[in-house]
Structure 1
């Protein structure tokens, strides 16, 4: 899920703020752990020739990974100078200040600085920008979706009337009204808006905490952003077979806590649920750490409450190892800190979710008819990746960026499943295939080779994509990733039959999962911003492929061909 926005009173002191005049203290609602990245100038579709769109041979590639480092005042002085010199490119104007969060540095010293911005003291949502600089500080470009600078405006709509508009979207208003400039809209143009937090409980028991922005001039709803993100699945299988675990001895018992992976642990929610008002929870379901006298956990059935805990801990372990060993990332936030799991949440709760406010994963037991307990391996990879997305591109959970957010979790969840090489849950391109019961009516929740097999998801981009639920619009990116990794047409992989079509009737030969996932991760952490849409995602992945493998490489040309194959140009 995405972290809740923190206003000035909740901001920690280590964030740098750069403006055209000086370095000043931070006073911007930001995501404190958001990482920074870099980009060169976008490649247009005209740069991809027909010959370059030809099929590429499968490739196994080893990519150099950037390192994260905290902001440095001297380095940001160069960033500030670059912003001054390229003010038109980054949509800078009088009254703006830029707030630096994190920097990622490539092995060659190229830096990528992620900044948010304010205008006349108000946050510009969707105004985030990534500045890319050579080791000597020379400008190498920027990534952003803002199309014009904000213009000083006064609200024509009172906060009370705006609150009524926000309340009509559902839920209860919590806290006061805040003025912002909202630019996370299809045209990328900032508008003065009132912003509210609403809370509710979804029909299946999942908590809802959504920010709603109301146009301060017209009263129109500009954005409704859900901050609790779950897989819209009905359940996850319990079984991953006999798996290795690391635990901690405490007194005469063992605790299901892993000291080698940031002290990640798993606890029992005891069928309780969270009770929250806005971003403040006055009651949390417990996470009573599982203990065992002989270090042999569970019995492989739902009759032992520790069995679900084994699956949850194992899924967290594999996700941690995948990020560290394949992508060079230490933990969800990139700081070596472990999360924790709660299993047996609620009664008959057929879902799972990642919550930034507790930095934890929560799993229900399923309804027992259509679904089993929500502790599948790809579920862990999927949901925990929402935490990674919130700390990198922070893709807004609405419109096309919402679809990219969900697809990122599907892509990484799938990659984690392949990485684990578990004989009880072999890698595939089906989402949730192990968790559904016969009563569900189909063998998986979603399908990456042909997303429309679920009866609702989109295979290709269209003008209607932005209006779909993120779990359905994610189909475009899921399909792109499958084509990039495996290619088009019929094939059988690990005993599963696939037959992936293409919009332009082209034939795609995949480059392999290793290269495909590294391209996606670099695009996410280096080029995508909060309002990235599918066209911008194409540009981001082309830049990532160029960075990792070169502009004339097969991975680069196959990225271009795969986007064309899902009608993204």
Structure 2
């Protein structure tokens, strides 16, 4: 559909979650009007187009419409914008693009030259044909540039490279992984959660691991066996024996994690599935051979779990890892935080934060909730007995030997699994405070970077603030400073501009060095 608002055009996706259809349509049209009338604030040029990706309508009438931007028909990396209004009156816009775009869209670098440059970085062992498209790159503080976006992948890696398209020699502007990982391992009639109820489907001859009540999510065999790629089936609807000897044990654990994560997002945030469209994701388990990782892939809309190396780690199917991986999908379908630099750290932190809240939501007696990520997968750990090995420790990130407790200006140069530590620390202090606390038998006393003593506002409020910031205010290029602004705005929306909660958000960011 085209609207006669200067150069602005609109192409609606077929399904946008959140509000009723009539509310969505009206909100999008009003947001387009606001973009036309507030071009400077949204960095709108005469050749920009906008595609509505999501709409949120608050109970007080506030509307938040998320757009992807195009320029002369080309996708704009980092150009996404969220328009905020109330009762038809413009409030402001969330975006990371620094300037209006004004450039030629005729490349001087050929696509094959860009592919060669990307291949030099990735290596020659890629599967299938490279994917490339011409884009406008507007991520960061500088002027936008014409670029080639090149994607290369194989069984171990899936990378996107941004190559300058108007340059004398091929030059890589940016790169990121499309496999958003937990960077570690996890283990599951389940390995870690004991005997639990799971949703299955009746089929001829028995049952299959398909949860028809949760978007028809399902679990398949990803091993190198003769059943690879097939959904798991069973004759008596009893799955696994609690050990690795039965491959159904791990399958059931992953399936359980998917169900709990679905229920968490629905019952706590009103979100119907990862994409908020009622569609379930699927699991691939027993992936690879001694594969010590797990990852979400937005392309297949699925989670993949390795079995660990069998020495240090077991299967990576613990509940917090399952919640972590599916939360990457939520991020992808909302803010779309680019997986590098500070936005990449916030992407990882979002999955740690919301994955941990999934664990608290489940409150499983065999996997008691805490702020350690993936501790279940380490084979030498004794539950409830310190010290515990874990992928990350949110209450004191530096315990892993690599993650910082406090913000530094060079944090964007770190691996995203470690730069996430500052946001994890912020969230713990916001929810729990700096006082002495114990979870799962582990001392969770958390330091502050400024020596302040903080009282937490509780997980119920903290998780709602973070989720609202993610889905309403974060954009693909949000950095730590912008995350502070976004979460304060979210707290203002939920609890009031002078509320204790909004002040606590500001204090918690200050306590980790983000000002």
Answer whether TM exceeds 0.5 for this pair.
Answer: yes
Alpha-carbon deviations, 1:489-530, whole Å to 9, x = none?
433234220221111111111111111111000000000000
1:319 and 1:416 in contact (8 A); partners too: yes
Shift in alpha-carbon separation, 1:25–1:142, aligned structure 2, 3 A: closer
Q: CA RMSD in A?
A: 2.5
Aligned to 1:100: 52
Distance 1:196 1:379 in 2: 29
Aligned residues of 1:264 and 1:339 also touching (Cα < 8 A): yes
Determine whether 1:267 maps to 2:217: no
1:252 aligns with 2:205: yes
Aligned to 2:68: 116
State the 1:197 CA deviation.
1.5
Shift of 1:229: 1.3
What pairs with 1:332-351 in structure 2 (closer than 5 Å)?
332-351=274-293
8 Å Cα contact 2:199-2:212 kept in structure 1: yes
Question: SS at 1:490's partner residue?
Answer: coil
Cα–Cα, structure 1 residues 110 and 188, in superposed 2: closer, same or farther, change >3 Å? farther
* 1:325 is aligned to 2:240: no
CA shift for structure 1 position 251: 2.6
> Do 1:451 and 1:459's aligned partners in 2 also have CA atoms closer than 8 Å?
yes
Q: Greater CA deviation, 486-495 or 530-539?
A: 486-495
CA apart distance, 1:80? 2.3
Following TM superposition, by how much is the alpha carbon of 1:22 offset from its aligned partner in structure 2, in angstroms?
6.6
Aligned 8 A contact 1:182 1:213 in 2 = no
Aligned pair in 2 of structure 1 residues 427, 439: CA closer, same or farther (>3 Å)? Answer: closer
2:171 — aligned with what?
A: 220
8 Å Cα contact 1:184/1:223 also seen in 2 = no
Segment of structure 1 superposing worse, 263-272 or 524-533: 263-272
Structure 1 residues 270 and 221 mapped into 2: Cα distance closer, same or farther (>3 Å)?
A: closer
Provide TM-score, normalisation by structure 2: 0.91
Structure with the larger RCO, 1 or 2 (CA within 8 Å, 6+ apart): 1
Q: Indicate the residue corresponding to 1:52 in structure 2.
A: none
- Shift of the 526–454 alpha-carbon distance from structure 1 to 2, 3 Å rule, reads same
Shift of 1:264: 1.5
Displacement of 1:347: 1.6
Give ranges in structure 2 of 5+ residues lacking alignment: none
Match of 1:384?
326
1:149 aligns with 2:100: yes
Does 503-512 or 263-272 show the bigger shift? 263-272
1:499 to 445, 452, 458: 445
- Classify the secondary structure of the residue corresponding to 1:168: helix
Which of 189, 192, 199 is the matching residue for 2:143?
189
- Residues 404 and 533 in structure 1, CA contact (< 8 A), matched pair in contact too: yes
Which is further off, 420-429 or 262-271? 262-271
Listed one character per residue, the Cα deviations across residues 509-567 of structure 1 (whole Å, up to 9, x for unaligned) are: 11111111110000000000000001111111000000011111111111000000111
Total equivalences in the alignment: 504
Is 1:353 paired with 2:295?
yes
- What is the deviation of 1:451? 0.6
User: In the alignment, which of 353, 377, 380 is matched to residue 435 of structure 1?
Assistant: 377
Q: What TM-score do you get using the length of structure 1 for normalisation?
A: 0.83
CA 1:17/1:178 → structure 2, altered by over 3 Å: closer, same or farther?
farther
Q: d(CA) in 1 for partners of 2:148 and 2:313?
A: 40
Residue 199, structure 1, aligned to residue 153, structure 2: yes
> What secondary structure is seen at the aligned counterpart in 2 of 1:260?
coil
Identify the residue that residue 375 of structure 1 maps to in structure 2.
317
